[in-house]
Amino acid sequence: MTERVKNLLAILKSGEYKKTRTESCADISDIVKEYSDGEKDSLSLKIMLESESLNAFRGDRIGFNRKQIYHPKYTYTNGKAANASGPNNITPDYAFALNNGFDSIKETVIKKITNCEEEKRPFYNGVLTAIDGVLEYADRCREDAKAKGIDDLYKALCHIPHKKAETYYEACVFMKFLIYTMRCNRNHHVTLGRFDQYMKPFFDNDVKRGVTHDELLEITEEFFISLNFDTDIYVGVQQGDNGQSMVLGGYDLDGNDMFNELSEICMKASMELKIIDPKINLRVSQKTPIERLEFATEMTKLGLGFPQYCNDDIVVPGLIGLGYRPEDAVNYTVAACWEFIIPGKAYDIVNIASFNFPAAVETAVNNGLLTSDTYEDFFEKVKSAIIDRCNGIIEYCNSKKFQYSPYFSLFVGSCLEKGLDIADAGADYNNFGVHGAGISTAADSLAAIKKVIFDEKSVSKEELLEALKSDFEGYGELRNRLLSCPKMGNNDGYVDNIACDLMEVFSSYLNGKPNSRDGIFRAGTGSAMEYILSARRVGATADGRKNGQPYGSSFSPSPNSQLDGPLSVIQSFTKFDLKKIINGGPLTMEVHDTVFRNSDGIKKTAQLVKAFIDLGGHQLQLNSINRDVLLDAEAHPENHKNLIVRVWGWSGYFIELDEPYRKHIISRTEHKY
């Protein structure tokens, strides 16, 4: 790590730079009131930028950090106040700007305005206002950089963003400029996409010019650090939830491996910096060399939760199955967290709603268990409940209106060509993605019902209903029995097949249903925060889960269940044909960091990842267990029955250890990083 990078990292960690921000916020209602909603946003962007100046910290060659925390105030035509949350969760077409520069883009826009139909004029005007705003700001920053003596930045700004980028450094500055201006335009969860692909030409230019590997690594690190400066003012459910995901590697249509020198430099940079952004995703397949998985496991070892793996063998055919063109499907990236999306072409709303599996089971239990004579009868009622909930979701999503965003639209599909904002479905893909939360809780509940009610007939339906209603108060023995029923994650066909049935009903019904934007619905395995939020709305479940308790996060075993181990987990969670439920949502697994004590542990963990890929898993989030989880386990042991800790030459369930020992393990994590 160079001195320059160390210095920047110190500035980031000190948080001192936050003192340069202002909290004032302009009210521009009067200025924008005559304009269309899209134009209002562009004017707001322009006005906001007028009050910004080059905010570059000591030694910072990238710049473009926020001064104003808040966006200007005004209301839309529907009377709603503009807030910080504009269109989000997609990967814009960065290459379009990097390879053209705004001068030539502006020319195109002006030509369009001159020749376009009247109703398209507000859109193009909005785009033009935004471009003028960002260019005026860039010019001012250029002079600021000159005055402040930041020579490299000054020189870069003499080319970009007016002209296309030439060098890797210029392209990095341009990238930060784009992200910064999009954020000022209220766009958030703006993901970085396939950085190692669209930046590669600039990188290659530099290599040809004789720029060294170390210099290229340094620039990459400066850019990565720069991405972290404003994350505390970005919109998100929790800090860190800001969508700055980066996807590396992948295979093209001919099966060529696209992982390159830049991909490797990005991973190195992330491992040296150990900061939360960008979040690294790695595209893999059965063909991925084991050495690369071992390299990636070195990253997992750091405990940051990177990389997340996406399996091309499953994702690409899955997306093609949903109607994405093959050349687009192979170019997939992740939107913010893990939803698969086509960069620069799609304005898919990948997280428009969340399907709550256990809620559907709850409905069937309450309304149909008493009248079901066989498990098959009962499952029909579950099926109806799933379809009813899907219909509700479809109706709700299709009634939604979308925000205009001319500047953002500039970077999406053929919006510019067609003169259509993303709000008016100007993108090439306009699909809706629906999460599927709580699959394991739902499958475990059905397995328990099947076992004790229908197979064994050891519990009466009335008794079970009463026990659930009373949240197991006075039904301790029954709860004990339910907890001992088969649980998803133990490679047990009894329950895993039920999970497959549930996913089949959900995905086959929802996939391909038309949405209000000439697109379709797509079903997924993610939960986002719904493993906690949706779970609060569901009472006690027949798997033994108590009222309101969380589900497993995304595609994971229930926190209720005692598990045999990771090999069983990956087999349980790859039984369903995951190509059919491909909105995204990873299997999330924790391994204790002591597994990585020697190189043998790295190799074996990489083999575990390889096994998951070979079995047909779609997405994997492998975590080296960290302090926060342990602390949560300390406070809520009932939610962490699966937490395995490596203790010495042996492993144990964390919650099975006595207090002083648990405390000791937690204390060990204090100085880990």
Partner 1 sequence: MAEALVFSIEEFSTFDGPGIRTTVFLKGCPLRCEWCHNPEGQSYENEVIKTQYGCTNCGECLKSAEKTDSGYVYSEKSILACPNRLLRPAGRLYIPQALVDELSKNINLLNKSGGGVTFSGGEPLSHPEFLIDTLKLLDNKTNRAIQTSGFCSNEIFKAVLENVDYVLFDIKLVDDKQHIKYTGVSNRSILQNLETLVKSGKDFVIRTPLIPTVTDTVQNLSEIALLLDGFNIREIDLLPYNKVAGGKYAAVGREFKPSFDETKPPHPHTEIFERYDIKVNIL
Contact positions toward partner 1, by CB under 8 A? 472, 475-477, 479-481, 483-484, 491, 544, 564-568, 571, 591, 595, 597-598, 600-601, 604-605, 607-608, 610-611, 614, 637-638, 647-659, 661-662, 664-665
Contact 558, 487 (CB under 8 A): yes
Q: Would you state the structure tokens that stand for residue 436, as one six-digit string?
A: 């599927």
Nearer to partner 1, 289 or 565 (CB): 565
**C-beta atoms surrounding 295 within 10 Å:** 18
**Min separation Cβ 611 and partner 1, Å:** 5
**Min separation Cβ 4 and partner 1, Å:** 37
The helix/strand/coil state of 24 is coil
**Min separation Cβ 646 and partner 1, Å:** 8
Cα(461)–Cα(443) distance, rounded to whole angstroms? Answer: 18
Nearer to partner 1, 34 or 670 (CB): 670
**Min separation Cβ 441 and partner 1, Å:** 16
The helix/strand/coil state of 355 is strand
Nearer to partner 1, 554 or 605 (CB): 605
Nearer to partner 1, 43 or 608 (CB): 608
Contact 309, 284 (CB under 8 A): yes
Quote the distance between the C-alpha of residue 523 and its chain's center.
16
**Min separation Cβ 588 and partner 1, Å:** 16
Nearer to partner 1, 129 or 490 (CB): 490
Q: Would you state the structure tokens that stand for residue 90, as one six-digit string?
A: 């997609």
As a residue count, the chain comes to 673
Nearer to partner 1, 81 or 648 (CB): 648
Of 390, 483, 386, 476, nearest in space to 444 by CA? 483
Of 401, 395, 393, nearest in space to 80 by CA? 401
Is the alpha carbon torsion for 9, 10, 15, 21 positive or negative? negative
Cα(566)–Cα(621) distance, rounded to whole angstroms? Answer: 12
**C-beta atoms surrounding 557 within 10 Å:** 28
**Min separation Cβ 501 and partner 1, Å:** 21
**Min separation Cβ 645 and partner 1, Å:** 8
Q: Would you state the structure tokens that stand for residue 239, as one six-digit string?
A: 């800090």
Of 351, 345, 395, nearest in space to 516 by CA? 395
Nearer to partner 1, 327 or 477 (CB): 477
**Min separation Cβ 459 and partner 1, Å:** 13
**Min separation Cβ 652 and partner 1, Å:** 6
Nearer to partner 1, 475 or 576 (CB): 475
Nearer to partner 1, 529 or 647 (CB): 647
How far from 528 is each of 158, 435, 533, 535, CA to CA, in Å? 42, 8, 9, 12
First-last CA distance in the chain: 17
Nearer to partner 1, 317 or 652 (CB): 652
Amino acid at 153: L
Burial class (CB within 10 angstroms; exposed 0-12, middle 13-18, buried 19+) of 232:
middle
Nearer to partner 1, 98 or 595 (CB): 595
Cα(161)–Cα(109) distance, rounded to whole angstroms? Answer: 16
DSSP label at residue 72: P
**Min separation Cβ 8 and partner 1, Å:** 36
Cα(137)–Cα(51) distance, rounded to whole angstroms? Answer: 9
**Min separation Cβ 638 and partner 1, Å:** 5
Cα(259)–Cα(267) distance, rounded to whole angstroms? Answer: 11
Nearer to partner 1, 264 or 564 (CB): 564
Nearer to partner 1, 124 or 475 (CB): 475
Q: What angle do CA 65, 67, 68 make, to 5 degrees?
A: 125
Number of helices (H) and strands (E), helices first, in the chain?
Answer: 28, 12
Nearer to partner 1, 66 or 487 (CB): 487
**To 10 degrees, what angle do helices 168-184 and 121-148 make?**
120
Q: Where are the beta strands (DSSP E) in 316-455?
A: 333-335, 339-341, 349-356, 432-437
**Min separation Cβ 490 and partner 1, Å:** 9
Tokens 């209720």 correspond to 560
**Min separation Cβ 476 and partner 1, Å:** 3
Amino acid at 615: L
Q: Which helix (H) or strand (E) holds 138?
A: helix 121-148
Nearer to partner 1, 401 or 457 (CB): 457
Tokens 């719904």 correspond to 530
**Min separation Cβ 556 and partner 1, Å:** 16
Quote the distance between the C-alpha of residue 569 and its chain's center.
22
**Min separation Cβ 339 and partner 1, Å:** 29
